[in-house]
Structure 1
Amino acid sequence: MNIKKLVPLGLIVVLTLNANAQKSLPITINADKVTAQVKPTMWGVFFEDINLGADGGLYAELIKNRSFEFTAPLMGWTVKGKKVTEGDVLVLNRQQMQATNPRYLRVNVKSATDKADVTLTNEGFRGIGIKKGLRYDFSMMYRQPETGIKMHVVLQDDKGSTVGETVLVPTQTGAEWQKQSVSFTANRTIQKGKFQIWFEGKGVIDLDMISLFPGDTWKKRPAGLRADMVQMLADMKPGFVRFPGGCIVEGRDLATRYQWKKTIGPIEDRELTINRWNTEFKHRQTSDYFQTFGLGFFEYFQMAEDIGAEALPILNCGMACQFNTAEVVPLEELGPYVQDALDLVEFANGDVTTTWGKKRAEMGHPAPFNLKMMGVGNENWGPQYLERLAIFTKALKDKYPQIKLINSSGTDPNGARFDLLNSAHRKANADLIDEHYYRAPEWFFNNATRYDSYDKNGPKIFAGEYAAQSKEIASPINQNNWKTAIAEAAFMTGLERNADVVNMASYAPLFAHTDGWQWTPDMIWVDNQQVYGTPNYYVQKMYSLYKGTNVVDIKLGNKIIAGQDSLYASAVVDHKTNELIIKIVNASNKPQMHDVQVRSSKKLPVTGIMTSISSDLAAVNSFEKSTNVIPKDERVSIKGKSIPLTLKPYSFNIVRLSLR
């Protein structure tokens, strides 16, 4: 979007609908009548390690199973060679000495002289994307009793031809583990390559944490994040980043729940676990899906800070996924879970002299992250959740009363589960209630008025997960088509109109790898080389970029605009940019003509800007046509105090006018 600032103009705008030369009730916007404040956190993003969102996605590591900790220790690896015999390559387990990273590989090289003698090949995450001219950084941990081995580090295409290579000679000897690294440059671009080490010489070497990163990570950080994926988020200017999920927080059972303390510190000490989406769906079995936690809580906080967003961590509350095992921790044993929450606040905000603040500083961030909010549990429900939530709330509020707590309202926006939790949270005067809605597009159109009747003085709402489902919830054939996106745009006018009730909102899930997804629809799709935003992404981006600071009154006749004549609308002013921002959805299959009349003693600018998306309801974006459905800008002429507008069929439009 390429928007230019406009000349300032007046305060009261009236839009008069003219269709086929027939006058209708006017749409009136009173820019002086502020009805709510828009929180800076209003529009954010939700991240979960689903669909290869972290490993194989946002976390830029290219080697799968780099530390041999998958259930099958050599999953992703192939051992071959003319001089490889039984027992020459062994997986060893040092469980008692190194419980967080017990396995390593011992390679016995017997006078290898050729690249076909002893080889280790890694397939990557659905292949390895290789870019011509890009530097690749290889590193490993090793130990050897004596020197004598030379390692040839090679990137290959799918046929085994070399794309880039270098040589690493392990120089240190002894019983202690050492780290060594080397870099090299690729000479071709390959969509699905692979990585190989072939050995030369003679000797025995132990290997662990075999790693390869591209040189173009976000902010060029070593062992960092995939830059194009982070940039898609930065471009949205989100108010917050919710992490690490999602159902990933709960785990299928408590043993596989997300434990933030295991995700910080040296990478080699972070304990890998199976990803709960590994076998969740029969239609998308993903047996090689694990969490290495190279993207851990420190990296989440750092990324949120990088893109100017508030961090919103969600913690396990002593309950596993209720759709899977429904395990719960006995109340008398909940203490360690509560302590994890208390320690997280100290990790994020504590002085460097505190236990956990010191750990943050040791990781390279002595300044506090300034954490302001936290979620207790994810999509949990029932009296067992309320019991545990009460214990968490008391402990956190007693020690950190300034931290806002987000409470789950379950999996659905209505029904017995929702009613129980919603009633209890309101009675307890909760800070924020997390509501989720995965529904058909029609539900989103029909619920644009959902929050008009909510108590404005009660707990605030976090619309924590929502996405229109083109087929049905979790269907493998759901699409991110324009029908789903425009339905969400219509619903979001209701969220914005009620910003004094709804303080935060985020679409979910965020990322999906085209060769490794489990759930659809998803906001941003990636492969090994590319990334593209769906129509839903652009709707979210438009709201986030133009969120304004205050909601102002907008009416059709004397009523809110939520379906009349297939129109949905909201309006805000932005006191930082001195703009009036009008959001209008035309959900009909016909164009609608609007004559915008301005009543004001002040002069209007000669032009305004309208940013619009309009398309066929079935239209989608793709890697081949990534700009098929995107916003387009046009200048609209202003004649005196009249602005003629045409809203295209099935369109979402943002009109921006400067205020003097």
Structure 2
Amino acid sequence: MRMHKTLLGSLVLSATLSLSAQTNELVIQTKKLGAKIQPTMYGLFFEDINYAADGGLYAELVKNRSFEFPQHLMGWNTYGKVTVKDDGPFDRNPHYVRLSDPGHPHKHTGLDNEGFFGIGVKAGKEYRFSVWARLPEGGTEGKLRIELVKVNSNTENQAFATQNLVIDSKEWKKYQVILKPSMREAKSTLRIFLNSKGPIDLEHISLFPVDTWKGHENGLRKDLAQDLADIHPGVFRFPGGCIVEGTDLNTRYNWKNSVGPVENRPLNENRWQYTFTNRFFPDYYQSYGLGFYEYFLLSEEIGAEPLPILSCGLACQFQNSDPKAHVAVCDLGSYIQDALDLIEFANGAVTTKWGKVRADMGHPAPFNMKFVGIGNEQWGPEYPARLEPFIKAIRKAHPEIKIVGSSGPNSEGEQFEYLWPEMKRLKVDLVDEHFYRPESWFLKEGARYDNYDRKGPKVFAGEYACHGKGKKWNHFYASLLEAAFMTGLERNADVVQMATYAPLFAHVEGWQWRPDMIWFDNLNSVRTASYYVQQLYSQNKGTNVIPLTMNGKPVTGAEGQDGLFASAVWDAPTNSYIVKVVNTTDKALLVPLTFTGLKKHEKLMDGICIKLHSTELDSDNTLEHPYAILPRTTMPISITGTALDAQLEPYTFAIYKFKKVRK
């Protein structure tokens, strides 16, 4: 009986697949090269949300290292005699602490720092503690004991890494020691004891892993930066997002405050501090330690074009309805100058004012910036009114720079319909579209760009992610629909020239917005299924679109196409055809691939197939199970002449690659 049922089931499946094969043939026209795919096509969008910068990508382990939070000792616990002073050596960070004799031989003075949800360290690794310090009363020697401790510990000693530090100057001076933990601990505490009578003044107390990304001293967390590099991104957009605008103009992201000596970069309030009272973090600030120089340097090191976004003089419009909250058009001069100065910082000669700042920071060669965005998710007539003078000034001084405008916060609707004609009128080079939308939207939008104006500005899909209905968290089905939607980006590469998923990072204890592409705690990170979708597209983007049709039509998930989405490209460096197919249904499908137009002396070699698939649609990779959903490669895939009878499992994103050779 079991054998009969199995046989019957096999026959039904075979019949179903045979029937599907009659209607699901994908025809790839090899002899007709289409639009060039820009190197910037798939990239990364970074914003300091979810503790993505301080506490995340930026490898600093000390919170409030310069005592500049409005509550100057937030993040610190003190004991003994500790006072806060405000006449320190750095004019934009004037606060520091003075450790003094507690007045009794059996009392102790010192302070602990809690870090960002604790301080994560690994056994045997080196951590660089540094501090600016002085002996304020002209003493000859002061002593500190620096420790990493596990406060809630059953062991005999709380400390598991200790170093002594001698302070020997009455002038401000930078000191450092190396701590080497004996244990792995995700939530340790940095402790500093005064080990002499004192007093000793301390400013800019810092702790970094020595092993940062590329070994930079003011560096990035290595595993998180590697996650970005492994995407092979073509563009890197920074620093946001809504933080560009700020909750008010005083807290907008000011790039000039984020460059120069790190000790003198002023604190900025993070726009996300006040946004979500259900996920509220009153200690969410920006140290600017991860600033524009570091963003440009990271872009260069991961091979991506830098795309900085600057304020257009409008504070966040979601949070500011009063016109007085924004800069009047007639008062935009300093904002426009900021944009021109940024181009000089990125590209200017070392003899220029801002080019010299870049050179003094360690990069005499220009960064060769090609793009700049003005404004983020602005809307209404107030946005083009402010954008226009930026465009005129940048075009006049730097006609080589491409300018990115915005179509507002929505993917359609009144503001979207208003802003696109305005962007055409102003002749921006690219228009930044944002869409955080449910599954139904992604299933319907496979042909979104098929009928866009080919002569107008190009599209930058600058922020997008599939948000499940009632399931606003990372899950495989959402990533599958992102993959389906991206076939439409690829097919329309003559219009769409950049695309970046958002947001990028989230700390598992500090998140405010989800889903996100990469999750992390203090010691580990995990790549989501959405990450792998982005990576597969970026690593297989090709150089030219080639036509792919089913029954003479593009494969966009339209009615009668069995929930299939597909696109195809030619990759000149590898002499290969790359076909992407997404099955969004619960049915296994036969999807024959037929390559037409090869010359008599040409043939296709057996290829490879990469599939991303899961039967658990609500699941995703987690820190506990980071490899639950991974791309799987099968090779070789045998092709008969110019045809392949491909079988696609339910809910599967597949990539087929075949190299063209001479017979």
Quote the residue 2:500 is aligned against.
Answer: 506
Match of 1:547 among 527, 541, 548: 541
Deviation at 1:607, TM superposition (A): 2.6
Q: Deviations over 1:250-291 (max 9, x none)?
A: 000000011000000001110101111112101110111100
What residue in structure 1 maps to residue 581 of structure 2? 584
Alignment-derived partner of residue 621 in structure 2: 621
Q: For residue 3 of structure 2, what is the aligned residue in structure 1?
A: none
SS in 1 for 2:296: helix
For 2:385 and 2:506, the matched residues in 1 are separated by 35
Q: Are 1:101 and 2:96 counterparts?
A: no
Question: What is the rounded CA distance, in whole Å, between the counterparts of 1:432 and 1:112 in structure 2?
Answer: 67
Counterpart in the other structure of 2:68: 69
> What corresponds to 1:11 in structure 2?
none
- Alignment match of 2:384 (pick from 380, 383, 386): 386
d(CA) in 2 for partners of 1:387, 1:641: 55
How far residue 605 of structure 1 moved from its aligned partner, in angstroms, is 5.0
Q: Which residue of 2 aligns with 1:166?
A: 163
Q: Does the aligned pair in 1 maintain the 2:111–2:192 contact within 8 Å? A: yes
Corresponding residue of 1:571: 568
Structure 2 residue 143 is the aligned partner of structure 1 residue 150: yes
> Partners in 2 of 1:471 and 1:588 — Cα distance?
17
Amino acid at match of 1:133: G
Q: Distance in 2 between matches of 1:104 and 1:147?
A: 21
Cα pair distance change 1:213/1:22, threshold 3 Å? closer
Q: More relative contact order in 1 or in 2 (CA 8 Å, sep 6+)? A: 1
* Contact 1:124–1:194 (8 Å) recurs in 2: yes
Residues 333 and 605 from structure 1, CA distance in 2 versus in 1: closer, same or farther, beyond 3 angstroms? closer
Partners of 2:182 and 2:387 lie apart in 1 by 55
Alignment match of 1:492 (pick from 461, 486, 491) = 486
Q: The residue matched to 1:617 in structure 2 has which SS?
A: coil
Contact 1:147 1:203 survives alignment (8 Å): no
1:640 offset after TM fit, Å?
Answer: 4.4
Does the 8 A contact of 2:141 with 2:169 survive in 1? no
Q: Is the aligned partner of 1:187 residue 2:182?
A: yes
- Conserved? CA contact 1:112–1:118, under 8 Å: no
Alignment deviations for residues 313-338 of structure 1 (CA, whole Å, 9 cap, x no partner) = 00001110001124210122110000
Which residue among 162, 185, 201 is the counterpart of 2:196? 201
* CA 321–551 in structure 1, closer or farther in 2 if over 3 Å, else same: same
Distance 1:421 1:530, change over 3 A: same
Instruction: Report how many aligned residue pairs link the two structures.
Output: 630
Q: What residue is the counterpart of 2:124 in the other structure?
A: 133
- Stretch moving more, 590-599 or 617-626: 590-599
Alignment CA distance shift 1:533-1:440 (3 Å): same
Q: Which residue of 2 aligns with 1:277?
A: 272
Look up the match of 2:37: 38
Q: Flag the 1:106–1:659 CA change in 2: closer, same or farther, 3 A.
A: same
**Is 1:336 matched with 2:334?**
yes
> Residues 449 and 112 from structure 1, CA distance in 2 versus in 1: closer, same or farther, beyond 3 angstroms?
farther
Letter in 1 for 2:177: V
Partner amino acid for 1:102? Answer: P
1:259 — aligned with what? 254
The amino acid of 1:246's aligned partner reads G
**Which residues in structure 2 correspond to 1:362-511 (within 5 Å)?**
362-471=360-469, 478-511=472-505
Query: Counterparts of 1:392 and 1:410 in 2: how far apart (Å)?
Result: 18
Partner Cα separation in structure 2 for residue 113 and residue 263 of structure 1: 44
Aligned to 1:529: 523
Structure 1 residues 427 and 19, CA, compared in 2 at 3 Å: closer, same or farther?
A: farther
> Could you tell me whether the CA contact under 8 Å between 2:144 and 2:166 is conserved in 1?
yes
Is the alpha carbon distance of 1:267 and 1:309 closer, same or farther for their aligned partners in structure 2, counting shifts above 3 Å? same
| Equivalent position SS for 2:581 | strand
Question: Any residues of structure 2 matched to 1:107-122 within 5 Å, and which?
Answer: 107-110=99-102, 117-122=108-113
Q: Report what 1:4 is aligned to.
A: none
Cα displacement (A) at 1:184: 2.1
* Structure 2: runs of 5+ lacking an equivalent: 1-15
Deviation of 1:24 after TM superposition, in Å, equals 1.9
From the superposition, tell whether residues 618 and 110 of structure 1 become closer, same or farther in structure 2 (CA, over 3 Å): closer
Deviation at 1:193, TM superposition (A): 1.0
Of 348, 354, 357, 1:356 maps to 354
- Secondary structure of the corresponding residue to residue 30 of structure 2: strand
* Distance (whole Å) between structure 1 residues aligned to residue 500 and residue 473 of structure 2: 18
Deviation at 1:596, TM superposition (A): 3.3
- Matching of residue 594 in structure 1 with residue 595 in structure 2: no
RMSD: 1.6
Matches within 5 A, 1:613-652: 613-615=612-614, 616-635=616-635, 636-652=637-653
Equivalent position SS for 2:148: strand
**How much has 1:638 moved relative to structure 2?**
2.4
SS of residue paired to 1:38: coil
Cα deviations across residues 157-178 of structure 1 (Å, max 9, x unaligned)?
24251121111011112xx321
Pairwise CA distance, 1:487: 0.8
1:308 paired with 2:300, answer no
* More displaced 10-residue stretch of structure 1: 341-350 or 100-109: 100-109
- Please say which of residues 251-260 and 136-145 is displaced more in the overlay: 136-145
Rounded to whole Å, the distance in 1 between the matches of 2:513 and 2:21 is: 46
Measured after TM superposition, the shift of residue 18 of structure 1 is 4.8
Q: In the aligned structure 2, how far is the partner of 1:142 from the partner of 1:304? A: 34
Q: CA deviation at 1:117?
A: 1.8
**Aligned pair in 2 of structure 1 residues 445, 602: CA closer, same or farther (>3 Å)?**
farther
CA deviation vs aligned residue, 1:549-593 (integer Å, no higher than 9, x gap): 000000001101011111000000011111100000001101112
Q: 1:561·1:568 contact (CA, 8 Å) conserved in 2? A: yes
Cα distance between partner residues in 2 of 1:639 and 1:552: 21
Distance in 2 between residues matched to 1:332 and 1:21, nearest whole Å: 63
How far residue 471 of structure 1 moved from its aligned partner, in angstroms, is: 3.7
> For 1:167, what is the secondary structure of its paired residue?
strand
Tell me which residue corresponds to 1:319: 314
SS of aligned partner of 1:657: strand
**Is the contact between residue 25 and residue 592 of structure 2 (CA under 8 Å) also seen in structure 1?**
no
SS at the partner of 2:450? Answer: helix
Tell me, in whole angstroms, the C-alpha distance in 1 between the residues paired with 2:104 and 2:164: 15
Deviation at 1:461, TM superposition (A): 0.4
Preserved contact between residue 110 and residue 203 of structure 1 (Cα < 8 Å) = no
- Give CA-to-partner distance per residue, 1:177-211, whole Å, 9 cap, x none: 21111112111001211110112110211111000
Distance, in Å, in 2 between the alignment partners of 1:286 and 1:239 is 33
CA distance in 1, matches of 2:660, 2:145: 64
300-309 or 328-337, which moves further after superposition?
A: 328-337
Preserved CA contact (<8 Å) 1:93 1:103? yes
Q: Which residue of 1 aligns with 2:59?
A: 60
2:388 touches 2:426 (CA, 8 Å); kept in 1?
A: no
Q: Give distance in 1, aligned partners of 2:97 and 2:49.
A: 29
For the Cα contact (< 8 Å) 1:524–1:532, is it kept in 2? Answer: yes
Which residue of structure 2 lines up, in the alignment, with residue 10 of structure 1? Answer: none
Could you tell me how far apart the structure 2 residues matched to 1:340 and 1:290 are? 22
- Aligned-residue offset at 1:608: 1.4
**C-alpha distance in 1 between matches for 2:21 and 2:480:** 26
Give the stretch that moved more between structures: 432-441 or 600-609: 600-609
Q: Percent identity?
A: 47
Q: Answer with 397-406 or 27-36: which moved more.
A: 27-36
Q: Is the 8 A contact 2:475 2:617 kept in 1?
A: yes
Structure 1: stretches of 5+ with no match in the other structure: 1-16
Q: Partners of 2:180 and 2:628 in 1: how far apart?
A: 34
Local SS of the residue matching 1:630? coil
Q: Which residue of 1 aligns with 2:4?
A: none
C-alpha distance in structure 2 between counterparts of 1:148 and 1:346, whole Å: 45
Mapped pair 1:654 → 2:655: yes
